[in-house]
Structure 1
């Protein structure tokens, strides 16, 4: 993703408009949402060598078909601090768990998710490609996922794929609020406008910006979108490891994706990142225990 002066500023006008809408809602309803701080979410900023929290990538893809309820249930049962899932919109604006733009890789269907209705998607088999025992597993809706999260007392990083509509962002925020999950769910996205739309509906839901590359003034850029920190590609931090300390000094947190080897885990620990997204959370947990005993 190439950097530019415009990209660094982010879509500021859209963000300001969406956040202004949030202020109007507060004034009209008389309700002031309580913002959740980075400290409340993740505790103190990590220092180099300190254990980072583990986020199980795409639900729990090491144990079951990615972005399905069995995968999420397995990750929650294993005790990982966060499950990371992808939420994308169907043609009729419904949020479902899906990473790819097309359904081909993880279901028995074909075509782009954005051209399918929720009914189309619900008819797909999302488990047979993984193992025979998962035949008939369905693509979950956001509501089904949040119900399971609430039932199991879990925490989640929600990767909101693509550009969301105001209606879809509002529906997700309402679903989180209805289940009392504001302190256990973090909305994240590459798209700043999508995050602003979530904030317009509920500024209480924590948000993080997902980045592949780092703007020259990271702290300023992050302040513009009013988030609690970044979910960032490992290579970007490797090129500028000092940025972790800068973000921590601004009371922002750093989560790195997607690290699957002890070499990468060791580097992340030395940088002092706060969280690690991984496809192999079990191995990372064992590695961290070994590091603590050294």
Structure 2
């Protein structure tokens, strides 16, 4: 019985350790504040993917990580490229592993972007070169965080060893380097298990296109997290991954609604082609209710109406005086007020049930006492009168 209890205690300790290990990869508890924005091939929505221009744009926009897909040349050099061929992103053709580095360096990897996205074209993109992993690291050193993918190891024997050699020679996987400075991802579990056997403390992410094919307990033995494809992810999967001590970095998330959904569901980060948008979503105050709108208020109005989040309380003010309040229902509100002078500035804001306050919306009171400006029909040099439209019982004056 005593031995049984010891085994249970050890098992619980191990499980707790796994959860803490995954939760503190970045040196602090996972939360919306440290939600990771991973620049997918750099800021590839606005610049040619896997170029120094794309990486630099992502860095300046505030990406937490720069993602680098690895290819291996015929002469064993690691370069930044997604595809197995150079056809799509250069002016050349052929498989990456059948070309030498010198041959690849002759290719233009920027002009294709200008041709495909003329509204984002930039003359500086013409003639850009594919960088090697060493060139990228030598340029940035330890000033950025690297998210590196081991791609197609079956076509590139020795890729994992070459990657570890480069990282080791640049002092990026030493014990004194903060955990998470480099994260390695792959769809190939065997490559990740091999890397884990060589560097047990190096954070690894298991990629997968389908969440229902991910064996989370097994993955947790060698990786800190999973990288599922966006359309296969739901909140339940994220919670299940977390319960197995795994973080979730979802790919590829390119619109605001999906970014907000990932944060709301508790994902720990996203890969995105649009770093600036993702950083803005990440930094937005997601607890405050949406700012209410105001319909037109005239100096004859006896109420303020507009839209606001249902069940939030909307307050109306003019200067330092509160005009009234009302609870929004079906995303609409109506606050009874006394008539206000034309030109007065009325402001509204809302407070939700949790006490979170929105920003303010201001509207100017419109003068509705003056008659509508008369219209004039055509007047010719043969006319003996002026005709038009005006409010009934108003006097219309004509001048020349």
TM-score, L = length of structure 2: 0.58
Is the 1:94–1:168 contact (alpha carbons within 8 Å) kept by the matching residues of 2? no
Q: Give matches, 1:207-218, under 5 Å.
A: 207-215=204-212, 218=215
Is the 1:61–1:71 contact (alpha carbons within 8 Å) kept by the matching residues of 2? yes
Q: Give matches, 1:84-95, under 5 Å.
A: 84-95=67-78
Match of 1:40 in 2: 25
Range moving further from structure 2, 94-103 or 165-174: 165-174
Is the 1:88–1:95 contact (alpha carbons within 8 Å) kept by the matching residues of 2? yes
Which structure has the larger Rg over C-alpha atoms?
A: 2
Aligned counterparts of 2:34 and 2:191: Cα–Cα separation in 1: 31
**Cα offset, 1:215, TM superposition:** 4.2
**Cα offset, 1:42, TM superposition:** 6.1
Q: Deviations over 1:216-248 (max 9, x none)?
A: 663223135x0110111112213xx21212222
Kindly tell me the number of residue pairs found equivalent between the two proteins.
Answer: 253
Is the 1:231–1:257 contact (alpha carbons within 8 Å) kept by the matching residues of 2? yes
Q: Give matches, 1:193-212, under 5 Å.
A: 193-212=190-209
Match of 2:233 in 1: 237
**Cα offset, 1:65, TM superposition:** 1.4
Match of 1:77 in 2: 60
* 2:54 counterpart SS class: helix
Residue of 162, 174, 192 corresponding to 2:189: 192
Is the 1:56–1:280 contact (alpha carbons within 8 Å) kept by the matching residues of 2? yes
TM-score, L = length of structure 1: 0.78
Q: Deviations over 1:20-69 (max 9, x none)?
A: xxxxxxxxxxxxxxxx94313363233xx666211111022134211011
**Cα offset, 1:205, TM superposition:** 2.4
Q: Which has the higher helix share?
A: 1
Is the 2:211–2:237 contact (alpha carbons within 8 Å) kept by the matching residues of 1? no
Indicate whether 1:269 and 2:259 are aligned. no
Indicate whether 1:160 and 2:150 are aligned. yes
Is the 2:209–2:232 contact (alpha carbons within 8 Å) kept by the matching residues of 1? yes
Residue of 109, 119, 129 corresponding to 1:126: 109
Match of 2:247 in 1: 253
Indicate whether 1:284 and 2:267 are aligned. no
Q: In angstroms, what is the RMSD of aligned CA positions?
A: 2.3
* 2:89 counterpart SS class: coil
Aligned counterparts of 2:275 and 2:189: Cα–Cα separation in 1: 28
**Cα offset, 1:275, TM superposition:** 0.4
Is the 2:68–2:146 contact (alpha carbons within 8 Å) kept by the matching residues of 1? yes
Q: Which has the higher strand share?
A: 2
Match of 1:144 in 2: 135
Q: Deviations over 1:47-95 (max 9, x none)?
A: xx66621111102213421101121122112221111121112223321
Is the 1:50–1:269 contact (alpha carbons within 8 Å) kept by the matching residues of 2? no
Higher relative contact order (CA 8 A, sep 6+): 1
Consecutive unaligned residues of structure 2, counting only runs of 5 or more, are 1-19, 114-121, 174-178, 289-400
* 1:194 counterpart SS class: helix
